[in-house]
Structure 1
Amino acid sequence: MDTINRHTYNTGIIGNCAYLAHINQNTNIDWLCWPRFDSSFVFGGLLDKQKGGEFSVLPDEEYFSTQYYLENTNVLCTEITTASGKYRVTDFAPRFQMNERYFKPLMLIRKIEPLAGNPRVCVTCTPVGRYGEHALKAGRGSNHIDYSGADEKIRLSTTISLTYILDQKHFVLNEDKYLILTFDQEFHAPISSTAERFLQETTRYWRNWVKHSSIAHFFQQHVIRSSLVLKIHQYEDTGAIIAASTTSLPESPGSTRNWDYRYCWMRDTYYVLTSLNHIGHFEEMEKYFNYITNISFDDEIRYQPLYGIGGEKELVEQQLGHLDGYMGNQPVRIGNQAYEHIQNDIYGQVLISMLPLYTDHRFIFDERKDSPRWLNYLLGKIENTIDEKDAGIWEFRNIANRHCYTNLFQWAGANAALKMAKTIGNKDFETRAQALIDKAAGYIEACYDAERKVYTNAIGSPYLDASTLQLIIMNYLPHDSQRAKDHLIALEQQLKTENGLFYRYLHDDDFGKPKATFLICAFWYVEALACVGRVEDAIREFESLLKYANHLRLFSEDVDEKDGSQWGNFPQAYSHVGLMNAAYRISMKLDKPIFL
């Protein structure tokens, strides 16, 4: 791996389940969308250095930067060292329990503290509106600045001289300073003491959340960081879970595969909930159940692959031509045309996601009064679509097939429905579920190439696809069977790179042949290795993948095979799910105590 020329995303993220922000190693807020994950950015330097605005705390001389999280939290620290001094910027999104509910305001707090010498700093705060089309006008208050001029109403309350900020002047940092940025709300509380109290409460909240997680010893710190990442990708107000907080970060330079991932994919959510369930967190599942139930009882013929975080159905894809794009990569897209696709695996994934609510005795399934109606709805969806061709997991825009992966999750979803039907005592549902299990298995077997001893990506297709690793992971192929072992060998021979990365597939799609590997596929490979008993191989391959994280153990969607560069949206929930599930699978195989 060419570490010298390797591209990485030099940001960390903070969030409180109401919003997410990206903080660069240079202290700038590179990405912040308010009031929702899918709203216009307030700071969007990630996609345009000029039109994206700026919120930075920079010295007046050359500097060196280090960045780290407070242990077991989503509180991020950036330390700046210069010849004349050193200071730290601590960024966080307040989150803690207050008045018997979670306090998670649209508020970003920055604490600036001197650590050594006499550093001189300049605070620049220039938010923008409507994806950078409008610069906001700054208005001076008594100890705050109001920014207006677009849909956004933003206030910066601070203990720093307003003149220094408005005139962008450097000043000597000789005591702790605070910046509190809020959306559409006034802030009248004491600034310093409130910021300190919120910091202590937020730190305590995240550390308690980690303490109440059942995480194995195997690479525990990496799993903790990934779990903290996933947690703040849930929009708690509705229960929706987004794939990533960014848009238009290219899968590879110049590829034009620049997509908006700030929405809730049914498929991605299944994987996220599975990984959180593995560490003993269930409230995310219960919140998602409320989200999906509201979608389920719509009169539409089928589920969409994705919805807005408020359940919005139309996510019309648009291009923002006025923005430069990440490192000049265009187009910049908002919305995602995949909402129009036919992807029939999602009904099974919804059923599997909700299965613990009916089979885990820590939940009282009688509390779900609409269970028969909900289960009938989803069984009907699979019955109506099981014979169709679809776009598949990789969302081909102009290619339809009877995909093995789709049939697998119809099979798995029907199995989940069978267990739910037994729980609620509905014999009719049991009969319907069993019929779907048998039919889906028949389609899966139609993908088997006996000569090559491998399942192809679709019926009648010669192509191999990493998604069929799930045949092993989902227990369709018994782990001790020769067919599972042969299938894994065939996939690794064709799709695995020398350094342990994995391609989704190698045939042409709507945009040509993929140029970057897909990180979750490599973690699926690790998980499959552990399943078939190749545990030493699984551990070796798992360890080799860790080097593809950035400086904060955050992973992107795609990785360049040649130099290990990070590409695609970041951080990608899929990738962190892959790490957590692979670590969990390996820990279950190791002959030592699993949990603390």
Structure 2
Amino acid sequence: MLQKHTYDMGLIGNCAYLALIRKDASVAWLCWPRFDSSFIFGNLLDTQKGGSFTIQPSTSAFNSYQYYIENTNVLCTEIENEDGRYRVTDFAPRFSQYDRYYKPLMFIRKIEPLAGAPRIKVCCEPVGQYGIQTLDQRRSSNHIAFLGLEEEMRLTTNIALSYLLDKEYFVLNETKYLVMTYGAPLEAPLESTAEVFLTKTIKYWRNWVKNTSISNFYQTQVIRSALALKLHQYEDTGAIIAATTTSLPEAPHSTRNWDYRFCWMRDTYYILTAFNNIGHFEELERYFHYIANVSAKAKDKFQPLYSISTGTDLIEQELSHLDGYLGNKPVRIGNDAYTHIQNDVYGQVLVALLPLYVDRRFIGEERVESEKLIYKTLYHIQRTMDMPDAGLWEFRNFAQYHCYTYLFHWAGSKAALKVANFLQNQEMANMAERLMHEAASKIEACYDPVRGVYTNAIGSPHLDASTLQLIMMGYLDPNSERAHSHLRNLEQELKTPNGLFYRYRHQDDFGIPETTFLVCSFWYVESLACVGRLQDASREFERLLSYTNHLGLLSEDVDATTGSQWGNFPQAYSHVGLMNAAYRITKRLDVPNFI
């Protein structure tokens, strides 16, 4: 039997940076100063050139236990061997200070002896330019400076610097601290500052969770997904990236290794829905402002994705000097999908703008420029109504008239109609209503009356999990036989025996997909809930929870045979799927909120 592959790592962050920590307490991934910067620790993609930040026990034989401090993004890793036991607490400081959030480029590691006399070795060797650049080291009285990047990095510690520089084992007989900074260094007492920052960070995250609205339906799992999604928001601009990493393969040796450290417009509706469902307005508002900035700078068209600072040129490059995750090449940075035509983005923008008019938490001043933007976006829908595109899944070498694109033409126009009624703008209402009808006729052109199913594109026989959204977004009446028939057909063709869902099963630019796409499985759960199959929805939701790692974190893809995690990790889209599926079930079951 094939061995199950999971990402045995935990995620930490503070909405300014993200890091992944393995179960042996080594740092697998950390990019500074931005989510999309070069890694300074990229051992995940190359064990030799990726740099290292390890805290190693004295023997190769040891047991490890990794967990989050409850309702926080503070990660603990306990290591035990014949010498003793110790705990590493890793966190990125985040708390309120001076009426704003303190979220420095500061990585704090606390090492505590728990039993016996454990001996450890600490090694810290950051790199630059994706492993090409070796950094110079400068030793000071209580820190090591790493030089060669745009700003100085500094490791401040109460560990003897000789042990660090010489990579020597030492007995851990008292609590040690490691504080790594980029730019502004730690200019305060080490031990007390680290402890105060830890206490404040724990308090921040727990208060954040207390201010969510989450039912008791698999509450623990929804909370973890919400915490993971929160970390993927780059708070400086409000952007939310698709995943922490780049180039983790969708399947072994598939070459489907993509950089997901960008903000996809296609995710807009689902992300806004997730934050709205848990009652978190601040994140929703920041993300809306990001979308508004992207929309304002777009001229002839919207790109499918943008950088976290709304940058438009995401030139894809292959880094041939890196070995890749478990030898999976190529390693890519940038993503050529920014050049693609994905016309569903216009509907995504209009659906994103709708809360400005229906949610009373927004005030009138925030609507001032949006009326022009709605007109502009409706004209984009009108212009692209008869234009083929790359579709949701970003096919690189062929274009079609995709059902999913027309669904968002329909949904976006419907949202614009609601806005027009709010503004009492009859001209806008007439235009939106006309485009709704045009989009609906295109969707109906995808309908196969013989099978009773909507195909992925006009004139295509293939089925696609994205058409589950026809049910979820209310295009199809969930009580209708057409909705039930459509769902049954998708189940028969795309569902695996263990409840996973493929995006599609036909050949694309790289062959036939080998792994299932996890968010599609959660869409399936939502669709089951929509059509009233609540027992099925609850059962399938519970089965999907078995595909998390040991900390409740989800990947992009899952191997249907082994249950292995693949694709970039953690995948924000998958956690959004879990949150929205749980919410959909609870609304149908009328499960009360306890938070």
Instruction: Indicate whether 1:335 and 2:366 are aligned.
Output: no
Q: Which runs of 5+ in 2 are unaligned?
A: none
**Structure-2 separation of matches of 1:481 and 1:270:** 25
Q: Is the 8 A contact 2:353 2:370 kept in 1?
A: no
Q: Is the 8 A contact 1:587 1:594 kept in 2?
A: no
2:4 alignment counterpart = 6
Q: Is the 8 A contact 1:473 1:528 kept in 2?
A: yes
2:99 alignment counterpart = 100
> SS at 1:261's partner residue?
coil
**Structure-1 separation of matches of 2:354 and 2:76:** 39
Does 305-314 or 54-63 show the bigger shift?
Answer: 54-63
> SS at 2:326's partner residue?
helix
Q: How much has 1:23 moved relative to structure 2? A: 0.5
Distance 1:106 1:372, change over 3 A: same
> SS at 1:472's partner residue?
helix
**Structure-1 separation of matches of 2:275 and 2:266:** 15
1:121-270 equivalences under 5 Å are 121-151=120-150, 153-270=152-269
**Structure-2 separation of matches of 1:491 and 1:40:** 41
What amino acid maps onto 1:187 in structure 2?
L
**Structure-2 separation of matches of 1:505 and 1:11:** 29
> SS at 2:88's partner residue?
strand
Q: How much has 1:594 moved relative to structure 2? A: 4.0
**Structure-2 separation of matches of 1:298 and 1:583:** 36
Q: Is the 8 A contact 1:251 1:257 kept in 2?
A: yes
Q: How much has 1:544 moved relative to structure 2? A: 0.8
Q: Is the 8 A contact 1:318 1:335 kept in 2?
A: yes
Q: How much has 1:292 moved relative to structure 2? A: 2.0
What amino acid maps onto 1:106 in structure 2?
L
Q: How much has 1:299 moved relative to structure 2? A: 5.3
What amino acid maps onto 1:347 in structure 2?
Y
1:60 alignment counterpart = 58
Q: Is the 8 A contact 2:55 2:122 kept in 1?
A: yes
What amino acid maps onto 1:244 in structure 2?
A
Q: Is the 8 A contact 1:464 1:491 kept in 2?
A: yes
What amino acid maps onto 1:15 in structure 2?
G
Q: Is the 8 A contact 2:215 2:591 kept in 1?
A: no
Instruction: Indicate whether 1:49 and 2:47 are aligned.
Output: yes
> SS at 1:297's partner residue?
helix
**Structure-2 separation of matches of 1:174 and 1:269:** 50
1:492 alignment counterpart = 491
Q: Which runs of 5+ in 1 are unaligned?
A: none
**Structure-2 separation of matches of 1:175 and 1:252:** 44
**Structure-2 separation of matches of 1:221 and 1:294:** 35
Q: How much has 1:595 moved relative to structure 2? A: 4.3
2:537 alignment counterpart = 538
Deviations 1:122-151 (A, max 9, x none): 111000010000121221011110011344
1:120-519 equivalences under 5 Å are 120-151=119-150, 153-298=152-297, 300-519=299-518
Q: Is the 8 A contact 2:213 2:593 kept in 1?
A: no
1:555-574 equivalences under 5 Å are 555-574=554-573
Q: Is the 8 A contact 1:285 1:353 kept in 2?
A: no
Q: How much has 1:355 moved relative to structure 2? A: 1.8
> SS at 2:297's partner residue?
coil
**Structure-2 separation of matches of 1:301 and 1:425:** 28
Q: Is the 8 A contact 2:356 2:366 kept in 1?
A: no
> SS at 2:256's partner residue?
coil
Distance 1:523 1:57, change over 3 A: same
Does 416-425 or 523-532 show the bigger shift?
Answer: 416-425
What amino acid maps onto 1:44 in structure 2?
G
Q: Is the 8 A contact 2:471 2:478 kept in 1?
A: yes
Aligned CA RMSD, in angstroms, stands at 1.1
> SS at 1:379's partner residue?
helix
**Structure-2 separation of matches of 1:398 and 1:327:** 28
Q: TM-score, normalised by structure 1?
A: 0.98
**Structure-2 separation of matches of 1:464 and 1:494:** 8
Does 231-240 or 360-369 show the bigger shift?
Answer: 360-369
Q: Percent same amino acid among aligned pairs?
A: 63
Q: Is the 8 A contact 1:241 1:269 kept in 2?
A: no
**Structure-2 separation of matches of 1:27 and 1:272:** 31
Q: How much has 1:378 moved relative to structure 2? A: 1.5
Q: 2:21 aligns with which of 20, 23, 34?
A: 23
**Structure-2 separation of matches of 1:449 and 1:152:** 59
Deviations 1:332-369 (A, max 9, x none): 00000000000000111122123222201222234332
> SS at 1:353's partner residue?
helix
Q: TM-score, normalised by structure 2?
A: 0.98
> SS at 1:174's partner residue?
coil
1:550 alignment counterpart = 549
**Structure-2 separation of matches of 1:163 and 1:420:** 66
Distance 1:466 1:537, change over 3 A: same
**Structure-2 separation of matches of 1:294 and 1:575:** 26
2:116 alignment counterpart = 117
Q: Is the 8 A contact 1:130 1:151 kept in 2?
A: no
What amino acid maps onto 1:258 in structure 2?
N
How many correspondences in the alignment?
594
> SS at 1:418's partner residue?
helix
What amino acid maps onto 1:568 in structure 2?
G
What amino acid maps onto 1:132 in structure 2?
G
What amino acid maps onto 1:68 in structure 2?
Y
Q: How much has 1:444 moved relative to structure 2? A: 0.3
Q: How much has 1:175 moved relative to structure 2? A: 1.0
Deviations 1:36-75 (A, max 9, x none): 0000000000000010011111111121111000000000
**Structure-2 separation of matches of 1:440 and 1:269:** 20
Does 365-374 or 217-226 show the bigger shift?
Answer: 365-374
What amino acid maps onto 1:570 in structure 2?
F
> SS at 2:486's partner residue?
helix
Distance 1:385 1:132, change over 3 A: same
